[in-house]
């Protein structure tokens, strides 16, 4: 089974998210990130729409407990 671009993107985002979480920041302690993903042109031909979708996914991640990828 071939891996699709969205799967690769999600896996890369998760690796980044986990790496940040595991990195001890001097004078800050643990830092976490939330990531929202949307795909151009799969989700929309309009780049602005795709950016809005990614932003919505980011806020979804924040509202669902943070430190996650959506």
- Sheet strands (E) in 1-70: 24-25, 29-30
Residue 69 has pLDDT above 60, yes or no: yes
Run of H or E including 7: helix 5-22
Indicate the domain borders of the chain: 5-63
pLDDT in tens, 21-59: 999 888 888 899 999 999 988 888 999 999 999 999 999
Q: Has this prediction a pTM greater than 0.75?
A: yes
Question: How far is 27 from 63, CA to CA, in rounded Å?
Answer: 26
């Amino acid at each position: 089974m071939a891996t699709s671009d969205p799967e690769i993107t999600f896996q890369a985002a998760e690796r980044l998210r986990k790496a940040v979480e595991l990195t001890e920041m001097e004078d800050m302690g643990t830092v976490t990130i939330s990531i929202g993903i949307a795909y151009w042109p799969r989700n929309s031909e309009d780049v602005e729409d795709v950016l809005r979708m990614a932003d919505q996914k980011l806020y979804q991640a924040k509202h669902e407990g943070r430190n996650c990828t959506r």
